[in-house]
Amino acid sequence: MPEYAVLDKDTIKNRIMPYLSVAKRGFETKFDLVEIVNAILFKLKSGCQWRMLPTGHLFSGVAPSWKTVFHHYRKWCKAGEWKRVFTELLKANKDKVDLSLSHIDGSHTTAYRGGEMVEYQGRKKRNTTNALYLSDRNGLPLAMSEPQSGNHADLYEIEKRIDELMQQLREASIRTDGLFCNLDAGFDGKSLRTALDSHNVISNVCPNRRNGGETEDEYLFDEQMYSERWIVERTNAWMDGFKSILTRFDTTVSSWKGWNYLAFIVIFLKKIHKSK
């Protein structure tokens, strides 16, 4: 049996594999796909290089090469499988989500190898990739926007980014009508409020003093609601616990999104199991 597991074998088999497409004809791998997924999760958590993957410790029988594990990961990434798995998990367990309040936050991730959607970010003084993340009241990550080059601020094409986040919730059969959403001062702008209003989401944005106090007088701001903003920072810390996400080495956007949705899956499964 594998000596290391981010998720136990039964959880992978019963919670992930039913939603993950497998070959029905043609070439079929001779290795256990549950153990393939377990090896991918080891890479997610440890951040090791693919060629350094300890397959001998991760497989109960004859171990495949790291290239076999990589092949499966890329195949599922290209097909958008990890996002689909998370969406189906979320749909099946949406009663575990607390949407009495939500949070949206942006995250710039250092990208050392360059690649798609990577540009220089002045504040961090390095190349980064930027994406928006939406979580529920308890910090469970629920959606991720399409990654953007790091030279763009959080408000860049914010209408499209909000549409992407809300579409992911709808795909999981989660309604957004009347949803309250916390955002920090970096999002204080009319375009953001217009984007959320179009989805009937009520924005609670910390006023940005650089705007001259204009929005502070024009829009309501609930300080007590905003005091829970720390929760999304805790979510960021959860995500940083997965070393393949803490720093981006993948050059393709599909692989980068794959790691993020895999982290969503692990966090979500662990939290709902803990609540039970």
Structural domain boundaries in the chain: 9-79, 96-249
Cα–Cα dist 181/55, whole Å: 43
pLDDT of residue 200: 97
Cβ neighbours around 157 below 10 Å, total: 15
pLDDT, one tens digit per residue, over 19-64 is 998 765 555 668 899 999 999 999 999 999 999 999 999 998 889 9
Domain 96-249 maps to which CATH number in 3.30.420, 2.40.50, 3.40.50, 3.90.640?
3.30.420
Q: 244 is written with which tokens? A: 């393949």
Check pLDDT > 70 for residue 106. Answer: yes
This model's pTM is above 0.75:
yes
Cα–Cα dist 107/94, whole Å: 25
| Percentage of the chain modeled with pLDDT above 90 | 84
Packing angle, helices 253-275 and 81-92, rounded to 10:
20
pLDDT of residue 152: 92
Check pLDDT > 90 for residue 4. Answer: no
Cβ neighbours around 158 below 10 Å, total: 21
Residue 2: band (very low, low, confident or very high) from pLDDT cuts 50, 70, 90 = very low
Cα–Cα dist 266/245, whole Å: 13
Identify the CA nearest to 249 among candidates 52, 24, 12: 52
Q: 115 is written with which tokens? A: 């690649």
Residue 3: band (very low, low, confident or very high) from pLDDT cuts 50, 70, 90 = low
Cα–Cα dist 9/14, whole Å: 9
Cβ atoms of 21 and 82 within 8 Å: the answer is no
Least confident of 27-41, 109-123, 231-245: 27-41
What mean pLDDT is reported for the chain? 91
Task: Write out the E strands in 122-262.
Answer: 126-136, 141-144, 148-149, 180-183, 202-205
Average the pLDDT over 94-107 and give the result.
Answer: 95
pLDDT, one tens digit per residue, over 177-211 is 999 999 999 999 999 999 999 999 999 999 987 76
Residue 268: band (very low, low, confident or very high) from pLDDT cuts 50, 70, 90 = very high
Cβ atoms of 158 and 130 within 8 Å: the answer is no
Q: What counts of helices (H) and strands (E) characterise the chain?
A: 12, 7
Residue written as tokens 């999002």?
187
Identify the CA nearest to 144 among candidates 126, 125, 164, 158: 164
Residue 222: band (very low, low, confident or very high) from pLDDT cuts 50, 70, 90 = very high
Cα–Cα dist 276/271, whole Å: 9
β pairing state of 180-183 and 102-110: parallel
pLDDT of residue 275: 55
Residue 1: band (very low, low, confident or very high) from pLDDT cuts 50, 70, 90 = very low
| DSSP bridge pairs for 149 | 129
pLDDT of residue 89: 96
